[in-house]
Structure 1
Amino acid sequence: MTTAPATAAEALAGLARIRPAGWLATPMPADPDTLLARARQALAADHPGVDGTLRLVSARYTAAVFTVHQATGPLTLKLHADPIAYAGETLAYALLTGTATIPHLHAEGDSSLSLLLEHLPHPTDWSDAATPAVLAERIAAVHTASLRLPQYATEAMTEFSLAHLALAPAPAWIADATAWSDVLAAHHDAYGPALVPLGHLDLKPEHLRLRADGTVVLLDVETVRPDVTGLIDLVTLPAVYRQAGHEMHPAKVMDLYLNATAAHGASWTTSSLKAALRAFTAATGLQSLHGLDQ
């Protein structure tokens, strides 16, 4: 059995990078007091009526997350440092809300680059043997979300559909344009020309959370992009399962993904999915598929 890498990031070793270190001119401040002051400004500017005690949950180069403890119940406040990332996350919520199990979006704040989201403090129980299949289903729902959009949204996303991408130049980060064409053709066969190939979720065991009613929710869709396909998430799945305590044979991971995507309308076969993964490796410079293609 091929051993999964330790983390999802390690699973993507060799993948083409398009952003150098220090790419963001005005990153999120590191000082907690400065961050809290910015959060208060965001609430005042873009979210009138939302007030309460703020607690900093996490801070990264590009974003910071806070809990807003108010009398009517807590909310999550997310601040972006990068306008493009903010626009990408608002687009992701527009595409995924109603088509995938993700946090509820309560409000957007364009001037402060902020989002008010459902507060989900409870982690999923990874000791449950069914949880790996639940994660696969949640991922498949994201990957196929564009097939379930209302007509106006489908029309708005036409330029990102497989029908359009097949005629467009390969993205700048692609190393082999011919192999990329093979990736798109495989997706066309599996999903049809209307699919927008969403992928690149920030997959971690802790990003599966529970609502009070027991619903499993997939956190953090800010990195989802309509130009990488869901194969990037499949490659990271063995590492995510391993981190969560489920050492899993690559063939089992493939079966979980095949079953989950089939339930959402895909027509992958084991052989066509493996061929797409090999083409994805050639197109992107990925070093290893960690046994998924064997």
Structure 2
Amino acid sequence: MPTDPVALLARARHALAADHPGVNGRVRVVSARYTAAVFSVHGPDGPMALKLHADPAAYAGEALAYALLADAAPVALLHAEGEASQSLLLEYLPDPADWSGPAAPVLLTEGVAAVHTASLRLADHATEAMAGFSLGALHSAPAPVWLADPGAFAEVLAAHLDAYGPHLVPLGHLDLKPEHLRRRADGRVVLLDVESVRPDVTGLIDLVTLPAVLRQAGHEVSAERVLGLYLDATTARGARWTGDTLKEALRAYAAATGLESLHGLDR
């Protein structure tokens, strides 16, 4: 991705012309990294966000994430995607969520739970397309080579099978941080930066991350409370976890991945 602001704007203009005809208003750089850049664009129906990727795989992963989550989890709306320019035209959400109220931990946990359970609410054609990543398929497939303990990962998948059944696609691995929680004009809270959603691992790392993210946002929430919030949120969306089975899955996940701490969630 270009580092020069003029070159960045030229790249954005090229993407709009190539893949998003009719969107040609004022463009402003919002953020830029060597892997991706985000711009605000004033289109015919108001402001939108344009995201450009430098890596084709990252672009494809984010496009897939938005396609899977669009109707099933609180994420930014995808207006259009451009394969030629590796670009996404998204809902523009400049307003951060309000972390000051007592409802913030619940809202964040419910957003994460909605992502984790999203594939329970997919349309039939999407379920068929993702069948190779379902828990049933993953449980009988070779474990990812990067795992420290494949046997422990089999325990994680078995626990998820008990909690969700064989058809769940275990979406997760979000890039959770306070600035990635935004709000719409109607006050609804939305998760940003979903390109890290992966359909070949479980989302337990997001649960492990939740206590730290909440502390960063000024909420000292106990591990027991976080676990309870997650149990309530996933149960409301079709899961059959208990406190004990979720803790067992977390311990197996730590063993499988070499994770050093569960921040008290397994006690």
Moved over 6 A (4+): none
1:130-185 residue CA offsets vs partner (Å, 9 max, x unmatched): 11101111111110111111111111111000100011000122111100100000
Q: Which residue of 2 aligns with 1:186?
A: 159
Give, as a single letter, the amino acid of the residue that structure 1 aligns with 2:40.
T
Q: Which residue of 2 aligns with 1:51?
A: 24
Q: Which residue of 2 aligns with 1:160?
A: 133
Q: Which residue of 1 aligns with 2:233?
A: 260
Q: Which residue of 1 aligns with 2:173?
A: 200
Q: Which residue of 2 aligns with 1:72?
A: 45
Deviation at 1:91, TM superposition (A): 0.8
1:30-88 residue CA offsets vs partner (Å, 9 max, x unmatched): 22221111111000110000011111111123111000124531110000111011111
Q: TM-score scaled by structure 1?
A: 0.89
Q: Which residue of 1 aligns with 2:92?
A: 119
Q: TM-score scaled by structure 2?
A: 0.98
DSSP 3-state at the match of 2:143? coil
Aligned pairs, number: 267
DSSP 3-state at the match of 1:61? coil
Q: Is 1:86 paired with 2:59?
A: yes
RMSD between superposed Cα atoms in Å: 0.9
Q: 1:237 aligns with which of 183, 191, 210?
A: 210
Q: Is 1:173 paired with 2:146?
A: yes
DSSP 3-state at the match of 1:278? helix
Q: 1:276 aligns with which of 230, 249, 254?
A: 249
Q: Is 1:105 paired with 2:72?
A: no
Q: Distance in 1 between matches of 2:44 and 2:153?
A: 51
DSSP 3-state at the match of 1:267? coil
Specify every segment of 5 or more residues in structure 2 that has no aligned partner in the other structure, as ranges: none
Higher relative contact order (CA 8 A, sep 6+): 1
Q: Is 1:218 paired with 2:191?
A: yes
Q: Distance in 1 between matches of 2:230 and 2:79?
A: 31
Q: 1:289 aligns with which of 244, 247, 262?
A: 262
Is the contact between residue 23 and residue 42 of structure 2 (CA under 8 Å) also seen in structure 1?
Answer: no
1:213-264 residue CA offsets vs partner (Å, 9 max, x unmatched): 1111111111100122110100100110001100111111101111111110
DSSP 3-state at the match of 2:202? coil
Identity %: 71
DSSP 3-state at the match of 2:3? coil
Specify every segment of 5 or more residues in structure 1 that has no aligned partner in the other structure, as ranges: 1-27
DSSP 3-state at the match of 1:194? coil
